[in-house]
Chains A and B, each alone.
Chain A
Amino acid sequence: MTLENLKPVIAETLPNCDAEAVTLEARLIPEVCQDSLDTVELSMALEDKFGVNVPDDLMATFGTVADLIAYMSEHGA
C-alpha cells in the first residue's frame, strides 16, 4: 500500500480530513482521525477496500500514517 492508495479511502470516509494534505509523517490521531469513531470508520473502509482487518485497539497504537501503511503492506495490501 502507498500513500496514494490511502488518500482516496480517507477522502471517502473522513469528510473532516483534507485527504490531499495528508503526509506519511502526519499523526494518524488526531491529524487524520479526529477521534476514536473516525479510527473505526477508517478501519472498516480499509477492510472493505483491501481485505485487511485492523483491530480497533491496534489502530490506536499507530503513531503516524506511515505506521498504518506499513501494517497494511505487511498484511498484503
Chain B
Amino acid sequence: MKGLKLLATGRALPSQVLSNEDMSRFVETSDEWIGGRTGIRQRYFCAEGENATTLAIAAAKRAMERSGAAPEEIGCVVVATSSGEYVMPSTASTVHGALGLPEDIPTLDVGAACAGFLYAVEVARGLLLGNGKRCALVIGTEQMSSVLDMTDRTTCVLFGDGAGAAVFALDEEREYVSVQGTRSDPAIRSGCPGITRQVPMTMDGQAVFRFAAAIIPKCVQDLFAKGGKTMDDVDWVVCHQANERILDASIRRLGGKDKFYKNIDRYANTSAASIPIVLDEMNEQGLLKEGQRVVMVGFGGGLTWAGVMLCI
C-alpha cells in the first residue's frame, strides 16, 4: 500500500484578531450567543496586504523548512481554497513561484469548500503515484472574510481566515485509507471574492448542522469499514472545525471523546484551512508521534465530505 507520511506542517494567521465582542460592533450579536451555539470565541481576519495567497506562502515556507525536503523532491503543489485571491493564476502556482520550486511539477487549486484539504491530499497522492516524485506540498488557505456578508449575523460570525500546510512523502509501507462523497445541495453558498456583493454567502444553518452531525460518524465508520479498524485502533480524530456542537454531537455517536482535537474557539471556521491548522497545532504541542493512526474528516459546501485515515 502506498501511503503518505506526514513530514512536517506549518500555519499562518492574519494580524487582526476579532473577539465576539468585536463582532457585536458590526452586527447584533453577543459572546453568549456565538459561544453558546458554536464554541467560537475569536477569529482572525486579514488586514491590508494579507490574503489567502500571502497566508498560503507563509504556511508553506514553515512546513518546507521543517520537513527537510529539498525543493527538487516536491512533486506537486495542491492548494485547497474557496476564497483565493485570484481564479487565475491559481494560488498553488503563486506559492510554487514564491518557494522557488522546480518547473516540472503540477500545481493546482482544489475547490471542495471545507472538505477541500482532504480532497487536496487525495489529489496530491494521485499525482505523486503518477509522476514518481517523493513529496507533496498540500495547503489549505482561506480569506473567508472576503466572501462574507458582514451584515448577516447568522454567517459572518462563524468564519475566520488562516492557512495550514503539510508536506507529505509517498511511503511504500504506510497505510492510507480514504473516502469522498458529494450530496448536491446548495445549503451553503458564496460567490468568489470578485462577486461577493452580488452573491453574498448564505447558509441554511439547521440543514448544515443536520448534515454535518450525521456525516462525521458516517465518514469515520466508512473509513473503519474500509480499513478494518475501530476507534480503539485510532490515536487521534481530526475533524474540520465548523462548530463545537457538531463535534460534540459526533462524539456522542462515535465515542472516543479524548481523541478529538478542538481549536474552533480560537480560529472559528477557517474552511479548507482548519484541518492543517489543527495538525500544525498538534505537531507544535508534540501530540503527533511517529506511528500514530490519525483519522481526518472534512465536510462542507457542496455538500461534500472526505475522510482520510493514515499512520503518521
Contacts and interface: CB of A to CB of B under 8 A. Distances in A.
Contacts of A43: 210
B186 interface: no
Contacts of B206: 36-37, 40, 56
B245 interface: yes
B205 interface: yes
B37 A44 contact: no
Taking residues whose C-beta sits less than 8 angstroms from the other chain, chain A's interface range is 10 to 19
A41 interface: yes
B214 interface: yes
Contacts of B207: 56
B227 interface: no
B209 A37 contact: yes
A64 interface: no
Interface string A34-48: 011100110110000
B7 interface: no
Given A35-B36, A37-B245, A12 B252 contact: yes
A23 interface: no
B249 A41 contact: yes
Nearest to B208: A40
B210 A40 contact: yes
Contacts of B252: 12-13
Given A12-B252, A13-B252, A41-B249, A36 B205 contact: yes
Contact of B210 (A12, A35, A56): A56
Contacts of B203: none
Nearest to A13: B252
A48 to B, nearest CB: 8
B69 interface: no
A14 B205 CA distance: 18
B179 interface: no
Interface in A27-75: 35-37, 40-41, 43-44, 56
B213 interface: yes
B205 A44 contact: no
Contacts of B210: 40, 43-44, 56
B35 to A, nearest CB: 12
B213 A44 contact: yes
A37 B245 CA distance: 8
Interface in B229-280: 245, 249, 252
A36 B206 CA distance: 7
B286 to A, nearest CB: 31
Nearest to A39: B206
Contacts of A12: 252
- The residue in A13, A41, A43, A56 that gathers the most chain B C-beta atoms within 10 A of its C-beta is A41
- The residue in B206, B209, B252 that gathers the most chain A C-beta atoms within 10 A of its C-beta is B206
Contacts of B249: 41, 44
A32 to B, nearest CB: 16
Given A40-B209, A44-B214, A44-B249, 15 more contacts: A12-B252, A13-B252, A35-B36, A36-B205, A37-B37, A37-B205, A37-B206, A37-B209, A40-B206, A40-B210, A41-B213, A43-B210, A44-B210, A44-B213, A56-B207
Interface of A: 12-13, 35-37, 40-41, 43-44, 56
7 contacts: A12-B252, A35-B36, A35-B37, A36-B206, A37-B37, A37-B205, A40-B213
